[in-house]
Amino acid sequence: MKYRSTREPINTVTLSHALSQGLAEDGGLFVPVEIPEIEAEALTALEDASYVEIAKATLSPFFLEDPLHQEIDAICAEAFHFPLELVDLKDHTALMELFHGPSSAFKDFGASLLASCLARIHEGSEQPLTVLVATSGDTGSAVAAAFHRKPGIEVIILYPRDHVSSRQAHQLACWGDNVTTFSVDGDFDACQRMAKEAFADSWWRANVQLTSANSINIGRLLPQMTYYAAASLEYRRRHGVEPGFVVPSGNVGNGLAAVWARKMGFPIREVVFASNANRAVVEWVKTGQLKSFETVHTLANAMDVGAPSNLERLSDLYPEPPDWLGAESVDDARIRETIAAGEERWGQVYCPHTACAVAVREDLSTPHWIVAATAHAAKFETVVEPLIGHPVEVPPVLAELLERSTNRIEIEPRLGALTQHVAAAR
Ligand SMILES: *Cc1c(COP(=O)(O)O)cnc(C)c1O
């Protein structure tokens, strides 16, 4: 499989190249030149397979022609070391719990596979690879957990000091070893600006082999298909019908993975994106128009994206939004109401992102839906606990991280301040 840019489709690159480079040179996003289709017989054979086997079957065609293909067994076994849970609720509705990984959010699936690939691509190279991430919360902890102690790789995390919850801050700064965490006296945009400037800066270019692990990297999207593959097969095995998926969506990486999995032929009837008050994806799905909006701050803050980058990949595959694709927007009042009523209606406590998808499911009149649960409610306890009126139980993985000591460096929101620390540490 070769990869091309969404903007300049003529030149193609290998998977390893696309993973290392992140963004295409022309500013476009890498996409596979085609979405391979899986045969019906192969699908049937996967019905009793383990998660790792389903992941291998899903990802293998995307790794063909790349040296990493030889190691796909080891890569999948290493990356998918935590479980996916598909929980049947009532009313022909199931919850796909994606939060049992090291950072208690779905981004663990993508970060973990990207880390396993990059570690192999850069094995034995003289200069370490430095992964620089600006994070508003969830991405940084997934990336830190995934790359922690990977040989030949260093991680630098920049997070906005006053704009993450105390649990998020703890999860970002509890790693050490090859992970260095900077607490920036500014907002997320300031962190992102510093990261962008580093990529263009002469000192960094001369001294550091930089890469980013942000969600536009194709290496974070491909692995996200594996849980749609596994959950759709499992649902059909249990209930004899093809499910639809409702996916909480911000930058639409998770939703795009559902669309790609459907295109591959996994038994997925429909896909509905659930956005918060940021409406760009709803606009595209309902009108076919690509518009960017000012970002609105909401309770589901990991989905606060005014101009979702992955719409560029979606509209590349489907210039017209297909009729099996839907999208709805959910405002903060509805998020609150859905969380508050969650225990009574569904016997569940949701994070604010998952609550958007639950609300959208509640409005759908057709049966057989799987709602993607993107984070554990305990990560967003300051929003959730006042609404449900009692503490959220902290899962063991998160409790263990919160026990660890933390280490962070406070800096001003200037690239120079970061450069000084990084140069001194060399
Ligand atoms: C990142 C994130 C999302 C949004 O996912 P996209 O792939 O950006 O659409 C939703 N929920 C949680 C908990 C997240 O961390």
Query: At a CB cut-off of 8 Å and minimum separation 6, what does 133 contact?
Result: 139, 140, 143, 155, 156, 157, 158, 195, 212, 213, 214
Bridging pattern class, strands 12-13 and 30-32: unpaired
Write out pLDDT tens, residues 163-207: 888 899 999 999 999 999 999 999 888 898 899 899 889 999 999
| Secondary structure of residue 250 in the 3-state scheme | coil
Residue matched to tokens 């839907």 = 326
Integer Cα distance of 147 and 139 in angstroms? 12
Answer yes or no: are the C-beta atoms of 137 and 194 closer than 8 Å: no
Q: Is the CB of 254 under 6 A from ligand 1?
A: yes
Q: Is the CB of 138 under 6 A from ligand 1?
A: yes
Write out pLDDT tens, residues 285-341: 999 999 988 889 999 999 998 889 999 999 999 999 999 999 999 999 999 999 999
Q: Is the CB of 86 under 6 A from ligand 1?
A: no
| Secondary structure of residue 93 in the 3-state scheme | strand
Does the pLDDT at position 137 exceed 80?
A: no
State the average pLDDT over residues 243-250: 97
Q: What is the pLDDT of residue 142?
A: 95
Torsion angle, alpha carbons of 297, 302, 305, 308, to 10: -170
The string of DSSP letters for 95-149 reads EEE---STTSBTHHHHHHHHHHHHHHHTTT-SSPEEEEEE-SSHHHHHHHHHHTT
Closest CA to 188 of 146, 128, 248, 250: 250
Residue in 103, 106, 188, 272 to alter for ligand 1 test, most ligand atoms within 8 A of Cβ: 106
Q: Is the CB of 259 under 6 A from ligand 1?
A: no
| Secondary structure of residue 120 in the 3-state scheme | helix
**High-pLDDT (> 90) share of the chain, %:** 83
Answer yes or no: are the C-beta atoms of 294 and 304 closer than 8 Å: no
Please report the atom of ligand 1 found closest to the CA of residue 303: 4
User: Alpha carbon 156 to chain centroid distance?
Assistant: 18
Q: What is the pLDDT of residue 196?
A: 87
Write out pLDDT tens, residues 17-41: 999 888 888 889 999 999 999 998 9
Q: What is the pLDDT of residue 227?
A: 98
Q: Is the CB of 22 under 6 A from ligand 1?
A: no
Q: In the 8-state DSSP scheme, what is residue 71?
A: G
Write out pLDDT tens, residues 105-122: 999 999 999 999 999 998
Question: Would the pTM of this model clear 0.75, i.e. be above it?
Answer: yes
Residue in 136, 138, 216, 218 to alter for ligand 1 test, most ligand atoms within 8 A of Cβ: 138
Q: In the sheet where 3-5 sits, what is the strand order?
A: 12-13, 3-5, 30-32
Write out pLDDT tens, residues 335-376: 999 999 999 999 999 999 999 999 999 999 999 999 999 999
What φ, ψ does residue 325 adopt, rounded to 5°? -110, 130
User: In angstroms, what is the span from residue 107 Cα to ligand 1's centroid?
Assistant: 7
Q: What share of the chain is helix, strand, coil (3-state, %, to 5)?
A: 50, 15, 35
